[in-house]
């Protein structure tokens, strides 16, 4: 099995960019990643592209070749769709291609354009990641189903809206100074609690925003890195994927995400590490409750124990396990198809020491990325480490 390095990363600004098509956004992110890597376009052998709602919001399917063309790359390309985990899955497939020896250089990334639609139409498009027959036709939206998960968590383990508010406060603080973040402003617990309700117990500031953007990562084999003298100090040492029933009604627990647990277990075993070895993490916080569920699924906390982590300062910038130093989906933004590789880009910068919050984890050697699709019916987890 061939070792895999992250040779370069790139990202657009996240936010409302309704005048830009997904292909344009991806071209910018991909070009940035190749420039960061110092790898010529001609050396790219495969493009793995994540995109969720292209058909619904841009009338565009068959987006893999389109992404490669926009990037100026003449190579096979495949689009991967796993709802909000689309580019996380694309990244995993890129890792697998390099490990298998099928390619020495892969560009993995994703893009999404959503803000050109009104909120109702965007919500409808996003709702297609749930079970259309049993949830969509009943009018379920993602704020609604995550509210059900929050209620289930409170009922089984306890917790309050104020506990969740601390998650939002933490992530907004982390986004300050992030040049790619959609929201670079701090919020208070009172701001979160006083925000308009979306779906009880979740309010507007418990939810991530509608976002346009793209991200990309250049993956390279260790042999390519050595032969071409590429500066690539970050290695991908663990990769895992898990799945669950699509509809919440079919699951054994609403307050647990076993798909993420399965993905994490596989990634830890692959890398030969444990949760205790992780120095910094980016987790999928599409809603504040999602961060809590992720921390427990990933083995950082027991079931029912992560609800007070942000309030206690354990996952803050100065805590024992800084989580979402990018600002997370909550403040950095969530261009659905781009989120997974955006997490990888942020963690790579943290491990290289060129991230805006790198001084919070100056000795970090092991990082974890958790990317989830829908109500975590899909999940991918990756472990990155500073190469020896």
Q: For residue 297, which of 149, 140, 82 has the smallest C-alpha distance?
A: 149
Report the first-to-last Cα separation within the chain, whole angstroms: 17
Active site residues: 84, 334
Parallel, antiparallel or unpaired: strands 234-243 and 4-11: antiparallel
Q: Is 382 helix (H, G, I), strand (E, B) or coil?
A: strand
CA–CA distance, 325 with 305 (Å, rounded to integer):
21
CA–CA distance, 177 with 11 (Å, rounded to integer):
15
CA angle 185, 197, 201 (to 5 degrees): 105
Which residue stretches of the chain are H helix?
A: 22-37, 54-58, 63-71, 86-99, 119-127, 142-157, 161-175, 189-194, 222-227, 258-271, 288-297, 328-332, 339-352
CA–CA distance, 374 with 382 (Å, rounded to integer):
18
Parallel, antiparallel or unpaired: strands 378-386 and 234-243: antiparallel
CA–CA distance, 192 with 167 (Å, rounded to integer):
10
What phi and psi, each to the nearest 5 degrees, are found at residue 104? -95, -25
Q: For residue 124, which of 110, 114, 134 has the smallest C-alpha distance?
A: 114
Which residues, listed in sequence order, are joined to residue 383 by a DSSP beta bridge? 238, 368
């Amino acid at each position: 099995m061939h070792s895999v390095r992250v040779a370069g990363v790139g990202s657009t600004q996240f936010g409302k960019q309704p005048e830009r098509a997904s292909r344009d956004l991806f071209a910018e992110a991909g070009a940035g990643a190749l420039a960061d890597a110092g790898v010529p376009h001609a050396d790219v052998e495969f493009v793995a592209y994540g995109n969720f709602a292209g058909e619904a919001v841009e009338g565009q399917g068959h987006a893999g070749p389109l992404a490669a063309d926009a990037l100026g790359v003449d190579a096979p390309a495949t689009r991967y769709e796993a709802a909000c985990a689309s580019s996380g899955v694309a990244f995993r497939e890129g890792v697998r291609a390099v490990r298998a020896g099928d390619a020495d250089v892969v560009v993995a990334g994703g893009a999404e354009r959503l803000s050109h639609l009104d909120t109702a139409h965007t919500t409808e498009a996003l709702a297609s990641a749930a079970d259309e027959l049993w949830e969509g036709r009943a009018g379920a939206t993602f704020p609604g189903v995550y509210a059900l998960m929050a209620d289930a968590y409170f009922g089984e383990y306890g917790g309050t809206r104020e506990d969740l508010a601390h998650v939002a406060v933490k992530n907004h603080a982390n986004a300050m100074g992030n040049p790619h973040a959609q929201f670079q402003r701090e919020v208070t617990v009172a701001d979160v609690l006083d925000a308009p309700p979306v779906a009880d117990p979740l309010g507007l500031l418990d939810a991530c925003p509608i976002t346009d953007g793209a991200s990309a990562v250049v993956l390279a084999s260790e042999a390519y890195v050595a032969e071409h003298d590429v500066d690539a100090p970050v290695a991908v040492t663990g990769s895992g994927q898990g799945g669950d029933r699509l509809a919440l009604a079919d699951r054994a627990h609403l307050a647990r995400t076993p798909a993420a647990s399965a993905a994490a277990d596989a990634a830890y075993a692959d890398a030969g590490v444990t949760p205790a070895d992780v120095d910094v993490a980016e987790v999928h916080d599409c809603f504040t409750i999602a961060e809590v569920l992720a921390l427990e699924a990933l083995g950082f906390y027991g079931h029912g124990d992560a609800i007070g982590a942000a309030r206690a300062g354990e996952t803050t910038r100065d805590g024992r396990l800084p989580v979402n130093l990018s600002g997370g989906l909550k403040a950095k933004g969530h261009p659905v198809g781009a989120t997974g590789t955006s997490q990888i880009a942020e963690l790579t910068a943290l491990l290289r020491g060129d991230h805006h919050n790198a001084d919070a984890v100056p000795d970090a050697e092991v990082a974890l990325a958790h990317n989830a699709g829908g109500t975590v019916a899909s999940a991918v987890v990756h472990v990155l480490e500073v190469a020896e």
